[in-house]
């Protein structure tokens, strides 16, 4: 049930995120409740279409199930809903790592986790809300890219506590992998995507691949990001063609703890590879689509209108649980298992 060694081997089972049901907002004043319900309606409709596309492509889709609203509270506020499982969960080999998001200890995919554990799979729900959290909770999962025997991990050098804890994680990985460490400080899946062995789609944010991905071809997308009106909220921006009128100050003030910085994400490259013939894209880019088609890959373009609010592309809002294939060595002459550093 749990097995994934790359982001491009054939996808069989995936988690797809979700937002809270409308009744979680019944106790709020009418304007805020209406905005949250409109946000919920738009998001859920697009998620339903994304789920249909995944099912059409033969992928088993697993969704979260919600209990009482009280399970998702932090103080007087709701914690961000599990819309982007890639932010806090990671499948690496035959292990599923989960960094808890809710102080109550609830997990929205608990029903699936129970099935995995019953089947003898390895699920590690890490200690977070305690005096001595697991070092792995410091790892940014969207900044970890799996390519068989090679693992790529990006983290910032500015927080010494983060550096120390991520180093513990890297040393553990280096027993079985070549671990390549970079320090650009971004979410890797927001700026590049290995779409097939020997092929990378990248953005203007990253340009040096000769040492990290030797002899792989890199297709660079043009800069599609544009800084537009943000209503004074610098941690969120929306492209004009995706701007929705209910993203108002009242909504943003209440959900301030939910918001990321979508200015860091190039949604055209934040895509989900289903198999060697199919890729699901969150946004359409003519050059990218033509390049995929020239490789024999069909780009399936789906809409996710609220991506700017949730800071989530198709890769962010999914988590591959099971991909077919073994852990291959794509650079068999590269060197031993250890940590490799790059500037």
Are the CB atoms for 8 and 194 separated by under 8 Å? yes
Within a domain: 3: no
Within a domain: 61: yes
Within a domain: 2: no
Average pLDDT over residues 205-213: 85
DSSP 8-state secondary structure symbol assigned to residue 52: H
Which pLDDT score is estimated for 147? 98
* Rounded-to-integer distance, Cα 60 and Cα 67, Å: 23
Within a domain: 260: yes
Q: What is the pLDDT of residues 150-183, one digit of tens each?
A: 999 999 888 898 899 999 999 999 999 999 999 8
3-state secondary structure 177-235: CEEEEECCCCCHHHCEEEEECCEEEECCCCCCCCCCCCCCEEEECCCCCCCCCCCCCCC
Mean pLDDT, the chain, integer: 89
- Find the CATH number of the domain harbouring 159: 3.75.10.10
- Minimum mean pLDDT range among 214-218, 229-233, 290-294: 229-233
* Rounded-to-integer distance, Cα 210 and Cα 232, Å: 40
pLDDT over 70 at 261, yes or no: no
Within a domain: 6: no
Which pLDDT score is estimated for 235? 45
| pTM of the shown model | 0.92
* Domain that residue 165 falls in: 11-341
Q: How many CA atoms lie within 13 A of 290 on its CB side?
A: 5
pLDDT band at 223 (very low <50, low <70, confident <90, very high): low
Percent of the chain whose pLDDT exceeds 70: 90
Which pLDDT score is estimated for 184? 81
Number of structural domains found in the chain = 1
Output 205 or 24, whichever has higher pLDDT: 24
């Amino acid at each position: 049930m749990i097995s994934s060694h790359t982001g491009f081997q054939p996808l069989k089972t995936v988690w797809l995120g979700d937002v809270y049901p409308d009744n979680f907002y019944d106790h709020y004043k009418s304007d805020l409740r209406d905005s949250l319900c409109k946000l919920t309606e738009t998001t859920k409709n697009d998620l339903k279409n994304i789920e249909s596309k995944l099912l059409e492509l033969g992928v088993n889709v697993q969704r979260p199930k919600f209990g009482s609203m009280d399970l998702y509270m932090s103080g007087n506020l709701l914690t961000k809903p599990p819309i982007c499982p890639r932010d806090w969960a990671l499948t690496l080999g035959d292990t599923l790592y989960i960094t808890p998001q809710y102080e109550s200890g609830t997990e929205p995919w608990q029903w699936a986790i129970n099935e995995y554990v019953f089947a003898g799979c390895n699920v590690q729900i890490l200690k977070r809300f305690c005096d001595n959290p697991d070092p792995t909770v410091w790892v940014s999962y969207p900044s970890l890219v799996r390519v068989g025997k090679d693992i790529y991990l990006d983290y910032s050098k500015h927080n010494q506590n983060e550096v120390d804890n991520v180093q513990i994680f890297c040393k553990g990985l280096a027993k079985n992998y070549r671990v390549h460490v970079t320090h650009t400080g971004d979410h890797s899946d927001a700026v590049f995507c290995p779409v097939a062995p020997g092929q990378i789609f990248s953005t203007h944010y990253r340009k040096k691949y000769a040492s990290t991905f030797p002899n792989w071809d890199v297709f660079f997308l043009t800069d599609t990001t544009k800084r537009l009106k943000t209503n004074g909220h610098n941690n969120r921006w929306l492209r004009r063609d995706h701007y929705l009128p209910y993203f108002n100050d009242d909504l943003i003030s209440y959900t301030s703890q939910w918001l990321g910085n979508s200015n860091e994400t190039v949604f055209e490259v934040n895509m989900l590879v289903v198999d060697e013939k199919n890729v699901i894209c969150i946004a359409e880019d003519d050059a990218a689509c033509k390049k995929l088609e020239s490789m024999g890959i069909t780009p399936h373009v789906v809409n996710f209108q609220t991506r700017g609010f949730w800071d989530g592309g198709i890769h962010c809002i999914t988590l591959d649980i099971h991909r077919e294939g073994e852990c291959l060595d794509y650079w068999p002459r590269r060197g031993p298992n250890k940590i490799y550093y790059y500037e």
